[in-house]
Chains A and B, each alone.
Chain A
Amino acid sequence: MLNLIVCIKQVPMVSELNWDPRTGTLKRDLAEGMMNPACHHALEAALRLKDLHGGHITAITMGPPMAEEVLREALAIGADRCILLTDRRMAGADTFMTSFILARAIEKECPDFNIVLCGCHTSDSETAQVGPQLAEELKIPGAAYVEWLELKENVLRMKRLSDNFLETLEMDLPGLVTVTTSQYQPRYVPLAGIQDAYDKYDITTLDADDLKLKITGIKDSPTRILKVYSPDSKKKNIEMKGPAKIIVEELLEKFGRKIGGEIQKDLKAYGQDQ
């Protein structure tokens, strides 16, 4: 039986996804966290493989206890089993440690997997590092930014766009892919599924001790954050306001030469001719 693992991260609701174009404000009343979009697409890719070939999907996430929400969502759409890795000692893990912990959990809980699917990157940090590093930890081949995949016996055929090259790849299994958001539009969550996700299924929750790991996310991460700051700007600005037509005239009056110079047309002269 096809044994699929999907790694999912809960991310903060990104502001740009729920902005009200009429009022020009952010809709903050929606849920706080959501399934990272690329992970959602990875889950969809897994579901399609399962639709075609049958199989079993394990969704796994590492995060605070509330990350359980994205696992319930995964169950509602069709995942069969969920694992939540949650432990204060895991907090602050960088990509190196995160992939290390995920790999140990996978080895312990579902060592017989065929394919691991991850989102190509997360919307909150976008390092795109955890997927490739997880492949290394599991000592399996991996392919990032996959847009399309097809299973043929024990080989996964994939397509992706890589640095302006359209590539077709074949990977021996077990293997890992990271999936982009260009295809695999996620299916809707059936209402009945949501109910079931809360009633029927248990989520396996594991901490560092369950995984026999002596770790601290922050201390064992190779990278260290020294400081976080808000960058300041140096440009000296000129403010313009008023009716659009007047501003445009003023703009071309003051900067017409510069803009015109770029496009090799004299923008300023016209105004003076009038």
Chain B
Amino acid sequence: MNQTAQTATAYTAKAKDIWVFGDYRNYFQTRVTLQLLSRAGDLAAKTGSAVCAVVFGHNLDEYVNEYIAHGADKVYVIEHLSLKKYSMEIYISLMERLAKQYMPDIILVGATSFGREFAPRVAKRLGTGLTADCVGLDINEDGILVQTAPAFGGNLLAEIITPERRPQMATVRPGTFQEIPHDYIRKGQVIRIPMPEDLPKERLKIVHYQRKPHRGQRIEDADVVICGGRGMGSKNRFKKLFELARLLGGEVGATRPVVYSDWADPELLVGQAGKHINPNVLFSFGVSGAIQHTAAIRDAGLIIAVNKNPNATMMKKADVAIVADANQLCVALIKELKKRIRS
């Protein structure tokens, strides 16, 4: 159906590498490339393949070294002044060419805003499948990548494969996997590829870009997160969580209905469509525990859930399940903490 489609058979004789797209635009905020390199390392151990990072841009040495230190065996680099801007169309064309030339078995892309647009288009050009927002990646007995992703908008997970087409492609949200500690002594092969001269003319141009001003602590870095769900009842009651967060030096997170109802800023969304968090202590107030939410709190330490329904999924996922009215408990906790914390 699609002439560019590559079948597994045509591929078998070729390289079996696992590629990770080097997405460094928000390097200090988004460690997703490093997290994917780590997971790719686990997969590569099973398939006996090499872990490769692929990176485009200008002045890339820092990233190249970082990728090797975090587990890349090879780094494919295309460096050129014109690649300074994160240009979607050019990056897609470059990835397409490299993939057709080197035939990786797997391509993993971080589900950043850029990655979420880049990966589907690359997959389309390569005539292959793509699974969005994987929360698990593994290799089965047949050497095929099993991609686990939330399904059917509910509390379900689906295992998805790309049985025939190659490469197998997946996007993964930042925070889903843990990066491995860097090792700057580690050696890797750097493959520099000249910038092609015959790229199609750009039809989409970035006229202007500017980093969005940043607010204080980020929820992804917070040691204590207070997450509120629809069970908080109203915008005014939800506000109490901010007071609790101030007392605990933490940050507030929210579920999707909360964001949709405008009780909280979209930046506070915790879940598949928002942030992955890994606080040491997570309070969860009036949250039912849908998979799209809980997939993003798997790395939380102590989880304290408050719900009036003892059977809510969130209560099952908690270390401490408090059966109570979320709002009342929040108020009581604030009162007690104020008594105890005298700084």
Contact = CB atoms under 8 A, between A and B. Distances in A.
A136 B121 contact: yes
Contacts of B332: 244-245, 247-248
A66 interface: no
Contact of B340 (A24, A128, A271): A271
Interface stretch (B45-53, B99-107, B180-188, B317-325): B317-325
Nearest to A37: B260
B162 A223 contact: yes
Nearest to B202: A141
A238 B133 contact: no
Nearest to B259: A16
Interface string B1-42: 110010000000000000000000110011000000000000
A172 B203 contact: yes
Contact of B248 (A17, A141, A255, A263): A263
Interface string B122-141: 01110111111100000000
B257 A19 contact: yes
B249 A263 contact: yes
A240 B250 CA distance: 23
Contacts of A127: 120, 132-133
A255 B302 contact: yes
Nearest to B1: A220
Nearest to B112: A163
B234 interface: yes
Contacts of A248: 329, 332-333, 335-336
A17 B127 CA distance: 37
Interface residues of B, number: 101
Given A164-B26, A170-B207, A222-B162, A238 B212 contact: no
A265 to B, nearest CB: 5
B209 A168 contact: yes
B130 A270 contact: no
A160 to B, nearest CB: 8
A225 B120 contact: no
A132 interface: yes
A239 B321 contact: yes
A236 B151 CA distance: 26
B336 A94 contact: no
Interface in A144-190: 144-145, 157, 161-172, 175, 182
B12 to A, nearest CB: 17
Given A19-B230, A222-B129, A237-B319, A170 B224 contact: no
A170 B202 CA distance: 10
Contact of A255 (B131, B234, B320, B324): B320
Interface stretch (A47-55, A56-64, A81-89, A118-126): A118-126
B156 interface: yes
Contacts of A136: 120-121, 124-125
B195 interface: no
B211 A227 contact: no
A263 B203 contact: no
B276 to A, nearest CB: 15
B207 A262 contact: no
Contacts of B211: 164-166
A42 to B, nearest CB: 15
Contact of A144 (B117, B249, B260): B117
Contacts of A124: 152-153
B318 A235 contact: yes
B64 interface: no
B328 interface: yes
Nearest to A213: B1
Nearest to A265: B341
Interface in A221-257: 221-231, 233, 235-242, 244-245, 247-249, 251-252, 254-255
Interface of B: 1-2, 5, 25-26, 29-30, 88-89, 112-114, 116-117, 119-121, 123-125, 127-133, 146, 151-153, 155-165, 203-212, 214, 223-224, 230-231, 233-234, 248-250, 255-257, 260, 266, 272-273, 280-281, 291, 302-304, 308, 310, 313, 315-325, 328-329, 331-333, 335-337, 339-341, 343
6 contacts: A125-B151, A165-B212, A222-B165, A224-B162, A245-B336, A251-B333
Given A132-B120, A163-B30, A226-B158, 17 more contacts: A16-B255, A16-B260, A124-B153, A125-B132, A125-B151, A136-B125, A140-B203, A165-B209, A224-B162, A228-B158, A233-B317, A235-B318, A237-B318, A240-B321, A251-B320, A252-B340, A259-B224
List of 6 A-B pairs having minimum Cβ-Cβ separation, nearest first? A222-B129, A16-B257, A223-B129, A141-B203, A244-B332, A127-B132
